Structure 1
Amino acid sequence: MTIRTPLFCGTALAQRIERVEAQLVAQASAAARARRADTLGFAREIAGGVASYAEADSPFNKIAGLGFGGVPTEAELVEVEQAFRTLGSPVPVELANLADPAVGELLTGRGYRLTGYENVLGLSLDGLSAPEPPPGVEVRLCRADETDTALDLLVEAVLNPDTEGVASAEDFPRDVLGNAIRDMDSTGTRRYLALIDDVPVGTGSLRIADGTAYFAGAATSVQHRRRGVQTALIATRLADAIAAGCDIATVTTAPGTKSQQNVQRRGFDLLYTRALLQSS
């Protein structure tokens, strides 16, 4: 019997994963400005991370990747807070528990409050064979004219979340979510559709950067859950990640959810947790 060694995550690997996340946020934020053909918003570096404002209520309005490139000065943080405030937004921060603890001390000292958590999981792809998707579910790349179909599946998933685990505190309007999908896709993110009997029943995305395969945007229609849709999406994206030469795959989930259980069944290990903070 072969015993698999769980993937260990130290600060170096966490920094790499957080850097990929920060790059996505910055590029999607820039894509939002290009889409609107204006200069509203920003994406600026801060202490190894990125502070981004894409548009009102966007999931790309946040500080990501903080705490792996030093501790921001109070003056730097004040400048970023003012930039968000000018646009009528609070300052959401995703802070990994492997980041410099001094960052958390700085934020809580300035009145930031905890709003939730999310888990980052990973799977080493070194020597891993491409898995076979379960029968009965077809997975293929989403065509440009099927973006609304993928959006419908994502919105349905948001409105009918997992009943297990900790509920996500994030809730985005449909039009904003649609813009975010298109902005992500314009940065090179691959979007997939899962179909049963030629009917779209699920979606998921894959972003490849720095040898890292980042899984996101997973959703399954309510009536087709527990039928292997997410297993098929995971298998197809893993196969594509291996073919692209990635050495690690990562995914972010809410704690204790069916989504976390699905990826752990495919061999993903819990690497670290992010605290979700917001300015008061």
Structure 2
Amino acid sequence: MAERIERVESQLISKGSAAARLRRGDDKGFVVPVAGGMASYADENSPLNKVAGLGFGGVPTAAELDEIERAFFALGSPVQVELAHLVDPVIGQRLTERGYRLEGFENVLGLAVSADTERIVPAGVEIRPSAGDEFEAWIDLVAAAFAAPDTQGAASHEEFPREVIAAAMRDFVSAAGVARYSAWRDGELAGGASVRISDGVAQLTGAATAFTHRRNGVQTALLTARLADAAAAGCDVAVVTTQPGSKSQQNVQRQGFDLLYTRAVLVKQP
């Protein structure tokens, strides 16, 4: 299951990275397959600049790592490897020997998707596919939530400006098959969320509620709507990535998600 989840994660990043290059209209950037995963450079300071899924296709060779490091360093970027704890431990050892430093962790949580998932929609709340004419408002709302750090639990090793997050989300929506949902309450856009479905996996790729509409069941409504649609599409698992011990992790565990595995974040500077 972890191999499947890491594969669809790599697909998501690869498609978003390609969309970033298309948006800019240049060839600055790359996606390189490596040891069952891929290395991506999308844009300057982008959250899509990383190596994902590494190790589910074996241990990378020194030559493969040399090539990836040269590609990142040529663009002035560090190499960030997000390494699942289920792969061969020798990979972590070799990365450490090459000068990579452990800078953090992230948790991957999952929920078995059931065909009888109930849509929970409080009175006064409406969940619907996000229309094209509200795209900018949806981006503003969701990007603002991503840009605000979660201060509970283990601190994130990285933060991104709101405009960088917004650009990455545009790339996801335009090219990676990410579906948008909007929550409306009392005639106002109260929340937004997204999901990508691939290979039986529903990737919950973000959710946010406007400050003035919090504690009114908007997040639960957005979550159950996506889970119900994922079940209808034939998914068997929904996944979300959080910082360890964060409020986000706490919230999804209350909805029945369990910790599947952890990724170590290892970084080598140019």
Which category of TM-score, normalised to the shorter sequence, fits these structures? over 0.9
1:155 CA displacement = 3.6
- The alpha carbon displacement at 1:159 in A equals 4.8
Q: Deviations over 1:69-99 (max 9, x none)?
A: 1111111101101100111100111111112
> Deviation string for 1:99-157 (max 9, x for gaps)?
22111111111111112111101111245433423333322222223232122223432
Instruction: Please tell me whether residue 279 in structure 1 is matched to residue 268 in structure 2.
Output: yes
Q: Which residue of 2 aligns with 1:60?
A: 48
Q: Distance in 1 between matches of 2:121 and 2:263?
A: 30
- How far residue 218 of structure 1 moved from its aligned partner, in angstroms, is 1.8
Give the Cα separation in 1 of the matches to 2:17 and 2:151: 32
Partner of 1:226: 215
Distance 1:188 1:174, change over 3 A: same
Partner of 1:198: 187
Superposed CA deviations along residues 37-69 of structure 1, whole A, max 9, x for unmatched, are: 221100010010000001111111100001111
1:125 to 113, 133, 157: 113
Aligned to 1:211: 200
Q: How many residues align?
A: 268
* Alpha-carbon distance change, 276 to 225 in structure 1, aligned in 2, over 3 angstroms: farther
Instruction: Measure the CA separation in 2 of the matches of 1:136 and 1:252.
Output: 30
Alignment of 1:153 with 2:117, yes or no, is: no
RMSD: 1.7
Consecutive unaligned residues of structure 1, counting only runs of 5 or more, are 1-12
TM-score by length of 1: 0.90
Larger mean CA deviation between 158-167 and 246-255 belongs to 158-167
Distance 2:122 2:111 in 1: 20
Return 22-31 or 192-201, whichever deviates more: 192-201
Aligned pairs for 1:1-280 within 5 A? 13-186=1-174, 187-280=176-269
CA contact (8 A) 1:130 1:242 kept: no
Distance in 2, Cα, partners of 1:259 & 1:135: 24
50-59 or 119-128: bigger deviation? 119-128
- Identity rate, percent: 59
Mean alpha-carbon deviation: is it higher for 20-29 or for 130-139?
130-139
Structure 1 residues 218 and 167 mapped into 2: Cα distance closer, same or farther (>3 Å)? farther
1:158 touches 1:171 (CA, 8 Å); kept in 2?
no
Give how far 1:226 is off. Answer: 2.9
Q: Which residue of 2 aligns with 1:10?
A: none
Structure 2 contact 141–208 (Cα < 8 Å) conserved: yes
- Secondary structure of 2:216's match? coil
Q: Is contact 1:43–1:52 with CA below 8 Å preserved after alignment?
A: yes
